[in-house]
Amino acid sequence: MMKPEVYRSLGLSDKEYRNILKILKRKPTNTELAMFSVEWSEHCGYLHSRKWLKTLPKTGRYKALIGEDSGGIILDGLAIIFKMESHNHPSQLEPKQGAATGVGGIIRDIFTAGARPVALLDSLRFGPLAQAYNKYLFTGVVDGIQFYGNCVGVPTVGGEIYFDESYNGNCLVNAMCIGIAKKDALVRARAHGLGNPIMYVGSSTGRDGIGGCSILASHEFKAGEEKRPTVQIGDPFTEKCLIEATLEAINTGHVVGIKDMGAAGLTCCTSEMASAGNSGMDIELQAVPRREENMEPWEVMMSESQERMLVCIKKGKEEQIKKIFFKWGLNASVIGQVTGDGLVTIRDNGKIVAKVKAHSLTKAPVYDMPYKKPRYLRKLNKLALSKILKPKDYNKILLRLLAGPSITNKAWVYEQYDHMVGTNTVVLPGSDAAVLRLKGTNKAIAATCDCNSRYCFLDPYRGAQIAVAEAARNLVCSGAHPAAVTDCLNFGNPRKPESFWQFKNCVQGIADTCRVFNIAVVSGNVSFYNESPRSAINPTPTIGMIGVIKDVAKTCSQNFKEEGDSVILLGYCREELGASEYLKEIHRVTAGRAPQLDLRLEQAVQKTALEAIGKGLVNSAHDCSEGGLAAALAECCVSNKDKMIGANINNLYYNMRADALLFGESQSRIILSCAKDSVEKVRKIALRFKAPFCVIGRTGGRFLKILNGIKELIYLPIEDLSEQWRGSLKKRIEG
């Protein structure tokens, strides 16, 4: 009998170990134990989440593609492949390399499908910048993304950055990659065809990252723990060569299947490729290119060295494929072949060190976890508006909100990222969604990622619904039809019923809302155990969404374009301040419930905006989100620094608190601007879709002026708005 310390130190429970004994009908070898420990880790095996992930819709209005490691949609003859993945724990320990390898890993998931990576987005969350360690994390993560993304030549075109106390001690780094392929050129992560060679390509194998997924990603942080050796080191130059070599190899038509050696490295690739192909594999570890001496077989199987892949190719084509990888200065070595016995057989110098059924490794146990609504919500969800003091000077409040870390312009970050390489970026970062043209067609795709985790904390189901609705709204504002979703689900410890309740409700919120929008969830990732010694993070189901623009000439962005245009509000304002940025930033209150969401209203508003943009009637479109109507209008005024335009909003007649009108975060609102003679046409569209429509004012001048009735609430020079919105992040970082 193996000592419990051994398997427990690898992250396996007593029950899981007994299960392994039952499967093997004998004691596992060290290598087998290591293999089970990584394949049955939360990160690879989705033990706690799988039951609920099954409820997500897998079909939608665009034909969905669901692969082993990524998913996508079909658009004419093209496949748009995309996925978002977390690299939270490594980034918390070593922000630069953690973020860099997160980017590297997600790019590999895309090009191993045969798609050329064309864009990256990142959703980042940290504790408040006032704490020195959070500043270190934030600047380190940005540095890691620029270090990797810029060199590898994939533009970072969008994303989101939030700061909240709940991320103290556990930051979130979610990276999303989009790739394009001809639809017939896609490759799966499968090995089949008796006797077909299994080839190892890319970097050599070292001891870096051993146990990254089982030890690091599948447990929460405890005070004083030293986990840095489990973080991998990235080499974007090698990855760039690997992209080119892999796509060239796939192009020969001789590649049967291919998979990135990411989490759980060679273990994951051998067992999952064999399992997905209903085959077996016989591997000789001595053939694995190495960068360190005297590695034990289990170390080779567990290593998470970066920029490596396993490829199954057609027999007889070994030399042709090797030549391509050699040309790019990469390793390529045949390390085994496909067998028909369904077993993963691992040899070291001919001696068998592991022999396990591939299916048994990949069918990790599924746990049905208990869940319970947290008690604290009963109190937190109650918000007595009467107890929130009404501010005297709304101008000051607006300026403070614009300068707040979550709303402020993020140019300090995205100007460090090459967001133009590839010459596809038609709408640059800083608008509601990034837009990429599809060369050779007149279409474009738009991409965004969204999640307001404060909403999810106070109401997980509705918060997740809003994340989907807002992502769709952002795409619509760029002129895109929402098409498909990837989700990156960041939560606390699933063994805590309160955490699991958050998870379950968020997944249900995503599933239900995607069904209403008729869009599929084509790929995703779950990251549990996001807890610091003090507490769990806010539940954060980040939604990455792709949309389709049918005519690239009809894209739209958020900034006002012309003086004298009419400003239109689609949707309407409710008196709701719960969970708002305003309450948090100004009153230091996190309470109430997430704003209401009426999906029928949401769709009416989105359809109106889409049709108006599609018909070329509209000059700008912007979603109202954090900071409400006032912040959104301010952004419309100043977000093009070469051409800032003021506005006079003088047709609002709401009987409600002024702070709720200005800063409340009612959903389903879009601000449009259009030439005066287009107003009636837009109104007719709104009428047809039954979307609330109101001309609320006019663009022009050097001031943003907002009145409710005849009462002036906001009167500010656009230069002041711009200064607060534009300059504050840099000031916070560089002083």
Partner 1 sequence: MKFGVVVFPGSNCDQDCLYVTRDVLKQSVKYIWHKDTNLDGLDCVILPGGFSYGDYLRTGAIARFSAVMKSIAGFARKGGTVIGICNGFQILLEAGLLPGVMLRNKGLHFICKHVYIKTENNQTRFTNLYDRGQVLKMPVAHNEGNYYIDAAGLKDLKDNNQIIFRYCSPEGELSGQFNPNGALDNIAGIINKKGNVLGMMPHPERSSEKQLGTEDGCFIFKSIVKWLQMRKA
Compute the CA torsion angle 277, 283, 289, 292 (nearest 10 deg): 120
Whole-number minimum distance, CB 157 to partner 1, in Å? 11
Provide the mask over 465-484, with x wherever binding to partner 1 is found by CB under 8 A and - wherever it is not: --------------------
Of 416-424, 477-485, 568-576, 644-652, the window that binds partner 1 (rule: CB under 8 A) is 416-424
Whole-number minimum distance, CB 240 to partner 1, in Å? 6
Whole-number minimum distance, CB 638 to partner 1, in Å? 17
Query: Environment class of residue 153 by beta-carbon count within 10 Å: exposed (0-12), middle (13-18) or buried (19+)?
Result: middle
Candidate residues 138, 417, 457, 693; the one interacting with partner 1 per rule CB under 8 A: 417
C-beta pairs of 373-376 under 8 Å, 24+ apart in sequence: 373/498, 373/501, 374/498, 374/501, 374/502
Tokens of 630: 């006032």
Q: Bridge partners of 71? A: 66, 82
Whole-number minimum distance, CB 137 to partner 1, in Å? 17
**Cα–Cα distance between 303 and 259 in angstroms, integer?**
15
Of 54-62, 175-183, 424-432, 710-718, the window that binds partner 1 (rule: CB under 8 A) is 424-432
Candidate residues 14, 225, 415, 563; the one interacting with partner 1 per rule CB under 8 A: 415
55 contacts partner 1 (rule: CB under 8 A): no
Provide the mask over 309-348, with x wherever binding to partner 1 is found by CB under 8 A and - wherever it is not: -------------------xx-------------------
Query: Environment class of residue 591 by beta-carbon count within 10 Å: exposed (0-12), middle (13-18) or buried (19+)?
Result: buried
Active-site residue flag, 43 = yes
The amino acid occupying position 431 is S
Query: Environment class of residue 3 by beta-carbon count within 10 Å: exposed (0-12), middle (13-18) or buried (19+)?
Result: exposed
Of 203-211, 409-417, 480-488, 691-699, the window that binds partner 1 (rule: CB under 8 A) is 409-417
Report DSSP state, residue 521. Answer: E
Of 375-383, 419-427, 594-602, 705-713, the window that binds partner 1 (rule: CB under 8 A) is 419-427
Kindly identify the residues of this chain, within the stretch 129-158, that bind partner 1 according to CB under 8 A. 146, 150-153
CA 393 to chain centre: 38
**Cα–Cα distance between 10 and 619 in angstroms, integer?**
57
185 contacts partner 1 (rule: CB under 8 A): no
Contact residues for 665 (Cβ-Cβ < 8 A; gap 6+): 576, 577, 579, 580, 581, 595, 624, 625, 626, 627, 628
Residue 624 and residue 665 in contact, taking contact as beta carbons nearer than 8 Å: yes
The residue among 108 and 669 lying less far from partner 1, judged by its C-beta, is 108
The residue among 166 and 238 lying less far from partner 1, judged by its C-beta, is 238
Kindly identify the residues of this chain, within the stretch 153-182, that bind partner 1 according to CB under 8 A. 153
Quickly list DSSP for 164-176. Answer: -GGGTT--EEEEE
In a 13 Å sphere around the CA of 506, the CA atoms on its Cβ side amount to 32
Length of the chain: 735
Of 190-198, 229-237, 611-619, 660-668, the window that binds partner 1 (rule: CB under 8 A) is 229-237
Size of interface with partner 1, in residues (CB under 8 A): 31
Active-site residue flag, 87 = yes
Element (H, E) at 122: strand 116-126
Element (H, E) at 708: strand 703-708
Residue 419 and residue 428 in contact, taking contact as beta carbons nearer than 8 Å: yes
Whole-number minimum distance, CB 152 to partner 1, in Å? 7
Residue 676 and residue 726 in contact, taking contact as beta carbons nearer than 8 Å: no
Residue 328 and residue 242 in contact, taking contact as beta carbons nearer than 8 Å: yes
In a 13 Å sphere around the CA of 107, the CA atoms on its Cβ side amount to 36
Tokens of 238: 């090698």
The residue among 411 and 694 lying less far from partner 1, judged by its C-beta, is 411
95 contacts partner 1 (rule: CB under 8 A): no
The residue among 175 and 521 lying less far from partner 1, judged by its C-beta, is 175
Whole-number minimum distance, CB 414 to partner 1, in Å? 8
613 contacts partner 1 (rule: CB under 8 A): no
Helices in 533-678 by DSSP H: which ranges? Answer: 581-587, 599-614, 628-638, 658-663
725 contacts partner 1 (rule: CB under 8 A): no
The residue among 330 and 364 lying less far from partner 1, judged by its C-beta, is 330
Catalytic site residue from 87, 89, 419, 622 = 87
The residue among 330 and 652 lying less far from partner 1, judged by its C-beta, is 330
Whole-number minimum distance, CB 600 to partner 1, in Å? 36
Provide the mask over 544-583, with x wherever binding to partner 1 is found by CB under 8 A and - wherever it is not: --------x-------------------------------
240 contacts partner 1 (rule: CB under 8 A): yes
Of 53-61, 205-213, 232-240, 314-322, the window that binds partner 1 (rule: CB under 8 A) is 232-240
420 contacts partner 1 (rule: CB under 8 A): yes
439 contacts partner 1 (rule: CB under 8 A): yes
Candidate residues 177, 426, 484, 506; the one interacting with partner 1 per rule CB under 8 A: 426
β strands within 270-423, DSSP E? 280-284, 308-313, 331-339, 343-348, 351-357
Residue 571 and residue 666 in contact, taking contact as beta carbons nearer than 8 Å: yes
Q: At 305, phi and psi to the nearest 5?
A: -50, 145
Of 315-323, 363-371, 421-429, 446-454, the window that binds partner 1 (rule: CB under 8 A) is 421-429
235 contacts partner 1 (rule: CB under 8 A): yes
Compute the CA torsion angle 214, 216, 217, 221 (nearest 10 deg): 130
Contact residues for 318 (Cβ-Cβ < 8 A; gap 6+): 197, 199, 334
Kindly identify the residues of this chain, within the stretch 498-537, that bind partner 1 according to CB under 8 A. none
Whole-number minimum distance, CB 551 to partner 1, in Å? 12
422 contacts partner 1 (rule: CB under 8 A): yes
CA neighbor of 281 nearest in space, from 354, 333, 220: 354
CA-only gyration radius of the chain, Å: 26
Of 261-269, 361-369, 417-425, 706-714, the window that binds partner 1 (rule: CB under 8 A) is 417-425
Catalytic site residue from 43, 254, 481, 622 = 43
251 contacts partner 1 (rule: CB under 8 A): no
Of 354-362, 386-394, 415-423, 597-605, the window that binds partner 1 (rule: CB under 8 A) is 415-423
Other beta carbons within 10 Å of 222: 10
Candidate residues 23, 233, 334, 421; the one interacting with partner 1 per rule CB under 8 A: 421
236 contacts partner 1 (rule: CB under 8 A): yes
Kindly identify the residues of this chain, within the stretch 614-643, that bind partner 1 according to CB under 8 A. 642
**Cα–Cα distance between 642 and 464 in angstroms, integer?**
36
Whole-number minimum distance, CB 235 to partner 1, in Å? 7
Whole-number minimum distance, CB 317 to partner 1, in Å? 22
Residue 275 and residue 358 in contact, taking contact as beta carbons nearer than 8 Å: yes
Q: Bridge partners of 622? A: 671
Tell me which residue has tokens 């064999």. 274
| Catalytic center residues | 43, 87
Residues that bind partner 1 (CB under 8 A): 146, 150-153, 235-238, 240-241, 328-329, 411, 414-423, 425-426, 428, 437, 439, 552, 642
